[in-house]
Chain A
Amino acid sequence: MCLWLVILPLIAAGIAAVMPWQRLRPWLLPLVGIAHVILSALIVKAVDPHYTRYLGLDEPGRLVLLLISVLFLICSVYAVGYLRFLVDRPNRVFCLCLLLFLGTASLVILSRTLGLMWVAMEATTLSTAPLIYFKRTPRSIEATWKYLLICSVGIALALLGSFFMAYAAMDVNGQPTSLRFDDLLANAPQLSKPWLHVAFVLLLVGYGTKMGLAPMHTWKPDAYGEASGLVGALLAGGVTNCAFLALLRVQHICRAAGEAAYTSHLLILLGLISIITAAIFMIGQRDFKRLLAYSSIEHMGILALGIGVGGWWASFGAMLHMLNNGLTKCVLFLSAGNIQRAYDSKLTAQVHGAIRRLPLSGTMFLLGFLAITGSPPFGPFISQFTILNGMVQNHRFVIAGVFLLLLLIVFIGMGRTVLDVVQGRPSAQSRKTAFRDNILTGVPIVAALALVLLLGVHIPASLHRLLDDAAKYVENQP
């Protein structure tokens, strides 16, 4: 049954490729989105899900699968509205690549072996690159080039890391080595330590590049800035979390090998560097989509920091924050996309009064900002607070203090740009553009925000169990 999560989007991609009707093609996306959500829910809930040797779901995998599936559904409805607005532009490649992305991301999540996961991860890079290039402007080519080159190098390093992991597991007698996570986990205490150390660094740098951790983040502002809001939402909420999942799995094996302290130091280091870098570049940022990219870097840093600090609280918080960040980024990127289209600009010099020009998108952008910076009653408040609580429980007072200070800086820095965008009086020029809020590009944003709000007010018992399982996985507890 698992395999259908991969096959279904690929079949749909094939249909999108041969379908001759430009106006009808985008509707394929929500259809696949609905089927994918139903299938994912069934598989996560199933008592006996028929996992195969190479395909299956681990505990954090369930969370990421649900997140990406829901995210894709939200974005797919938005995509129909978006592509209707751009009806004179060929959308074949765009639809095809969106569906390919869903298939390959599902494959990353379902992979039970290091090799297959790597191949699938590289495939997500290749399938999303044409999406960034959709606008066909010189700036979008530049962004695509950087994205492809930097992510490919990152993913190449992850491959080398996977090789090192395999070498660490290699038997002296030349028996075949299995790269399945279960086998690696079972043999973890016997893994060769020097090789494992280098392997973890390479995998951290490699998948960290894809996740957008500083200092390997340089592609991110360009790619997120130039891609349409829809693609930004899928990159920031989908691709990054796939890479994070890969890191969680690698980290899980290293911890089982008794290297918890080693991995934790590196994760905390990269996490802090990411949050600091993001905070610096967010102050005075005049481009509100690049601002969101830096916010994504910040939150990837928070995830790495949460896992690095460890303990049940911080791990639980990080798992919850992964969901919150993914959904809130969806709100922010989709509303930012609408604002950009209405003003034909993404610079604060030209964009003012978004709340008046686009009442729905402007409000959503403001609420999304409040949510992502950790204001109650939204989800990220709960998850960031839980991570902070975890730091205090572990007596990491310095890290907790720095973390709080950085969150404050980010709040102020991001707030200035966001308020610039939503407040004030829209220019006469911006009132002339054709774009208005409508159902297809508005409802998905509201739905995503409703989920963020729900996660802040009440976490359903079944979701709590999934989060708890995932936190125990991160902590290597039975």
Chain B
Amino acid sequence: MDTPINAILVVVILLNLFLLGSSRIRALVQGAALQGTLLGFLPVLVNPELSVLRTLVAIATILLKGIIIPQMLFKALRDAQIKREVEPLIGFVPTMLFGAVGTAVSIAFASKLPLLKGHAELIVVPASFSTIFTGFLLLTTRVKAITQTIGYLVLENGIYIFGILLLEAVPFLVELGILLDLFVGIFVVSIIINHINREFDSLDTNRLTSLKE
């Protein structure tokens, strides 16, 4: 069971680097959607016996992270008529390098934490840290509100990956919580994006500078 999970996680890590290097926002949304869809397969792969609840979580994840939220973001893109991320605070190549370094640090840090029997062969923890770090980079170095939203999405993806380790042991309250909050969060954010766009004629959070010391 370990090989397919690890294979998916390797692709997820590669997608992280792709997200950091990409300037076209459509590509970013597509990358995040692909990542979300891949994550949806993890709950069913983690245990060979199929259970109703795990299958439901898988379907819900793919629907939300793979289809619904990306569609909402595409719609926001169309409404705002933007295509590219302009001039990020730190360039695309440097952030990609940061991301690679972050992944290496994640692997080193993860090896310090004692894993339970059966989890040691998986690369869940480093993949989770690396994805969270990618989300952080997108959130902090990009200026378009929509790219920051994608950063938040990627951050949540990273946390979701770690949640895979808990699927067996912790009842599903937390998993459902993520999906619910993610959904509501993105929903509210997309409304706000709409308003920023209307008020400022732009989605640059750079314009949001009247409030500072």
Contacts and interface: CB of A to CB of B under 8 A. Distances in A.
Contacts of B184: 126
B184 to A, nearest CB: 6
A225 to B, nearest CB: 7
Interface stretch (A135-143, A339-347, A414-422, A438-446): A135-143
A159 interface: yes
Contacts of A222: 211
A328 to B, nearest CB: 24
Given A156-B159, A176-B171, A148 B188 contact: yes
Given A174-B168, A194-B112, A198-B113, A145 B185 contact: no
Contact of A163 (B148, B163, B195, B208): B163
Contacts, number: 118
Contacts of B185: 122, 126, 148, 152
B159 A148 contact: no
Nearest to B213: A281
B85 interface: no
Interface residues of B, number: 42
Contact of A177 (B112, B136, B170, B200): B170
Contacts of A69: none
B170 A166 contact: yes
Interface stretch (A58-66, A112-120, A405-413): A112-120
B155 A153 contact: yes
B14 interface: no
B203 to A, nearest CB: 11
B132 A160 contact: yes
Interface string B148-190: 1000100110010011011011110110011011001100110
A266 to B, nearest CB: 18
Contact of B152 (A156, A164, A174, A179): A156
A145 B145 contact: yes
Nearest to A147: B192
B111 to A, nearest CB: 11
B114 to A, nearest CB: 6
B166 A170 contact: yes
Contacts of A152: 152, 185
Of the listed residues B155, B177, B200, the one surrounded by the most CB atoms of chain A closer than 10 A to its CB is B177
A148 B139 contact: no
Interface string A94-133: 0000000000000000000101101100110010011001
Contacts of B159: 156, 159-160, 163
Contacts of B121: none
Contacts of A144: 192
- The secondary structure that dominates the A interface is helix
A118 B162 CA distance: 16
B152 A149 contact: yes
A113 B116 CA distance: 23
Nearest to B197: A141
A194 B173 contact: no
Contacts of A160: 132, 159, 162
Contacts of A192: 114
A165 to B, nearest CB: 10
A175 interface: yes
Given A141-B195, A162-B174, A194-B114, A119 B213 contact: no
Contact of B211 (A119, A149, A225): A225
A149 B181 contact: no
A126 B192 CA distance: 12
Given A138-B200, A141-B196, A148-B192, A156 B155 contact: yes
B162 A163 contact: yes
A385 interface: no
Of the listed residues A123, A142, A174, the one surrounded by the most CB atoms of chain B closer than 10 A to its CB is A142
Contacts of A27: none
Given A139-B211, A160-B159, A194-B112, A122 B170 contact: no
Nearest to B176: A119
Interface string B117-141: 1000000000000001000100100
B181 A119 contact: yes
B174 A170 contact: no
Contacts of A225: 211
B169 A175 contact: yes
Contacts of B199: 138, 141
B210 interface: yes
A36 to B, nearest CB: 24
A115 B177 contact: yes
B205 interface: yes
B166 A166 contact: yes
Interface string B21-37: 00000000000000000
A455 to B, nearest CB: 33
A473 interface: no
Of the listed residues B174, B188, B200, the one surrounded by the most CB atoms of chain A closer than 10 A to its CB is B174
B210 A167 contact: no
A142 B152 contact: no
A143 B211 contact: yes
The 3 tightest CB contacts between A and B, nearest first, are A142-B208, A177-B169, A119-B177
Given A141-B195, A159-B177, 7 more contacts: A119-B173, A119-B177, A145-B196, A148-B188, A153-B152, A179-B174, A198-B113
Interface of B: 112-114, 116-117, 132, 136, 139, 145, 148, 152, 155-156, 159, 162-163, 165-166, 168-171, 173-174, 177-178, 180-181, 184-185, 188-189, 192, 195-196, 199-200, 205, 208, 210-211, 213
Interface of A: 113, 115-116, 118-119, 122-123, 126, 129-130, 133, 138-139, 141-146, 148-149, 152-153, 156, 159-160, 162-164, 166-167, 170-172, 174-177, 179, 192, 194-195, 198, 221-222, 225-226, 281
9 contacts: A122-B177, A141-B208, A143-B211, A145-B205, A152-B152, A153-B136, A156-B159, A159-B159, A159-B174
